[in-house]
Amino acid sequence: MRRLGARGIRVTVGLALGLVAYHRFARPRHLTWGATSVEGRGTLPGDEIVAKPAVVSTRAVTVHAPPSDIWPWLVQMGEGRGGLYSYDTLDRFFGYLHAPSAERVLPEFQDLAVGDVIPLGRGPSWPVVALERERALVLEPVAGSVSWCFALQPVDAGTTRFVSRVRVDVGPRPLLWVLAPLVDLPWLLMERQMLRGIRRRAEALAVSRA
């Protein structure tokens, strides 16, 4: 019993040290994948929705296309629409989608407006709370607790920084701290694939228009 107790203490201490190391070294990189330090510190539309977040992620990719070729993919997101452009197999497994993400712009879904809702199958839908055409789309998946901004920041005539920011204040903060390693990796993988999926489609659209 004593050896079992000592072993339990060692395991607990090891897990605690691992969590501390994760939050100190790995998590900052996960939450700012692809983003510059300026982008991470900068203000984006919708930041005021969750004024004191427990977690903030700012992730970004460079897209070799103007905002006008990225915007159509954003506004047609959702189940029964353009999809989510991430790992379709996983999105379909969890019931968020029932068909693969679109590979073409769908004209019937280009008139997204504030007050509309992006549907997500079994998942919670995403209300649109702010929209500035070809500049920013802000969603509020959980009222007052989760905001998600997609921002398009032109670099030059044919290049755009595509920035995604999520602000979260859901549940007890100590629990969020403990569960972070279990939540962060799938969150990073799915969102990173979404950004890359939209980038690939936008760049292909830019080439076709050229």
Residue 37 sits in the same domain as residue 66: yes
HSE-up of residue 180 (Cα within 13 Å, Cβ side): 26
Same domain, 71 and 101: yes
Same domain? For 82 and 14 the reply is no
115-128 pLDDT tens trace: 999 999 988 899 99
| Domain count along the chain | 2
**44 and 122 inside one domain:** yes
- Residues 6+ positions from 174 with CB-CB distance below 8 Å: none
Instruction: Dump pLDDT digits (tens) for 144-203.
Output: 999 999 999 999 999 999 999 999 999 899 999 999 999 999 999 999 999 999 999 999
Domain limits for position 20: 1-30
Provide the whole-model pTM: 0.93
Mean pLDDT of the chain: 94
Helix (H) or strand (E) holding 200: helix 173-209
Same domain, 136 and 58: yes
Residue 202 belongs to domain with CATH number: 3.30.530.20
Residues 25 and 52 in one domain: no
| Residue 184: partners with Cβ closer than 8 Å, 6 or more residues away | 27, 30, 31
Whether 74 and 160 map to the same domain: the answer is: yes
Residues 104 and 164 in one domain: yes
Q: Cα 43 vs. chain centroid, distance in angstroms?
A: 16
